[in-house]
Amino acid sequence: MSFFRFVLFLFLAYVAFLFIRIYLGLKRAGRRPRPAPRQVRGEMVKDEICNTYIAREEALTEVRGGVECYFCSEECRRRSKPS
């Protein structure tokens, strides 16, 4: 009788193990198709020097007289400076 119980316990443990594996698999699958938040929220700003649009987080910023200016590169930032 105790052997039967032991087998039953093993069987239940195996079933529980399968359920946990399926549960973890579903959780992992649900997490996968999330796109990068940067592309979703990406705000485009204009580089006034070369008239191109760049992502705000990739742009170089500089505050001039209370106005925030955006530049695509260090070169554009240098060119914008009044000489």
Under the criterion CB under 5 A, does residue 76 sit at the interface with Zn ion?
A: yes
Q: Could you tell me how far CA 37 lies from the centroid of its own chain?
A: 4
Asked if 45 touches Zn ion (CB under 5 A), the answer is: no
Count of residues near Zn ion by CB under 5 A: 5
Which of 7, 8, 22, 50: binder of Zn ion (CB under 5 A)? 50
Interacting residue with Zn ion among 47, 59, 70, 77 (CB under 5 A): 47
Contact 55, 43 (CB under 8 A): yes
Nearer of residues 35 and 82 to Zn ion, judged by Cβ: 82
Give 42's strand partners. Answer: none
Sequence-distant contacts of 28-35: CB under 8 A, at least 24 apart: none
Residues that bind Zn ion (CB under 5 A): 47, 49-50, 72, 76
